[in-house]
Homo-oligomer: A and B are copies of this chain.
Amino acid sequence: MARNAHPEVTRQRILDAARAQFAAKGFEKTSIQDILNELGDLSKGAIYHHFASKEAILDALSNQDMEFTENIFARLDSDKTMSGLQKLQETMRSTMRDKQHLTAIRALLPQLDDPTTLAANLRHWGNELSQQLLVYIEEGVADGSTPTQYPREAAQMLALLPNYWLIPHFFPGTPSELRHRIECLEAMLEAINVPVFDDALIDDFMTGIAVLAAPSNESTEAPQIATEQ
C-alpha cells in the first residue's frame, strides 16, 4: 500500500472526500476521522503527509474553486478593445453563463453555512475580487463608460452583493422576487453611474440563478442567512 506512483491522485482523493464531508457537515464539525472514513483506505498519516493541517485542506479547496474566476480576469486584463464597463459586464456574464461552473457553485453553496468557510469567502470577495473590479471601474472612469464619483464603493458593492444578496441562498426568494432584487441593484448602481446591469445581463442572471436554485426544496421555513447547526 505504500509508495503510490501517483500521489496527485491520492491528494485529489483527499480533497474530494474532504469537500463531500465539509459540504455535508461543515468544516468545524467534520473531523479528520470523518474524511478517513469517507476515503475508506487511507490513514491519518497519509492526510498529514499531503496537507499540513485541516485548514490547509480547506485552503486547497478554495484555491481550486477560484481558478475559474482567475481565468476570466486573465483574459480580460489583457484585452485592450473593451471598455471598463464592458469588462465588468463580461465578468458577470461569464460567471452566470457557464453551466458547468454554476453547477459547481451550487454544490459549494451549502458550505457557506459553515462559519469558517463563510468568513474566508467574505474575506476573499471583499478584498481580492473588489480590487480586481476596481481596476475595471477605474478604466471605465478613464474611458467614460463608468463616470462615477464612487469607484471604490462601487467595486465593493459589485464584489459582495451579487455573490451574497442576489443569489437565493442567504436571502431566498421566488424568481420574480429575485428579479425585483436585481432591478433594485440596477437602480442603485445607475444612481452612482456604474450601469453594469442591462436587460441582457439581468436575463443572464435569471437563467444562472435558476441553475443555482436547489432542486425541489420542500422546507416551509426558508433557509435564512448563515444558518448554523
CB–CB A120/B226 < 8 A: yes
CB–CB A184/B153 < 8 A: yes
Cβ of A158 to closest chain B Cβ, rounded Å: 12
In the complex, chain A residues 57-109 whose Cβ is within 8 Å of any chain B Cβ? none
In the complex, chain A residues 179-229 whose Cβ is within 8 Å of any chain B Cβ? 180-181, 183-185, 187-192, 224-228
Count of identical protomers in the assembly: 2
Classify chain A's interface size. Answer: 35 or more
CB–CB B165/A181 < 8 A: no
Question: Given A118-B115, A156-B165, A190-B191, are A123 and B184 neighbors across the interface (CB < 8 Å)?
Answer: no
Cβ of A167 to closest chain B Cβ, rounded Å: 13
CB–CB B153/A123 < 8 A: no
Most buried by B among A115, A116, A185, A224: A115
Chain B: which residue is nearest A189 at the CB level? B188
Determine whether A28 belongs to the interface, using a CB cutoff of 8 Å to chain B. yes
Chain B: which residue is nearest A127 at the CB level? B224
- Docked pose: A154 CA to B187 CA in angstroms: 12
Determine whether A5 belongs to the interface, using a CB cutoff of 8 Å to chain B. no
For A120, what are the chain B residues with a Cβ–Cβ distance below 8 Å?
A: 115, 226, 228
Chain B: which residue is nearest A185 at the CB level? B153
For A28, what are the chain B residues with a Cβ–Cβ distance below 8 Å?
A: 28, 116
Interface residues of A (CB under 8 A from B): 28, 115-116, 118-120, 122-123, 126-127, 149-150, 152-154, 156-157, 165, 170-171, 177, 180-181, 183-185, 187-192, 224-228
Across chains A and B, which 10 residue pairs bring their CB atoms closest together, nearest first? A191-B191, A115-B119, A126-B225, A188-B188, A115-B115, A153-B184, A150-B184, A119-B226, A123-B226, A115-B116
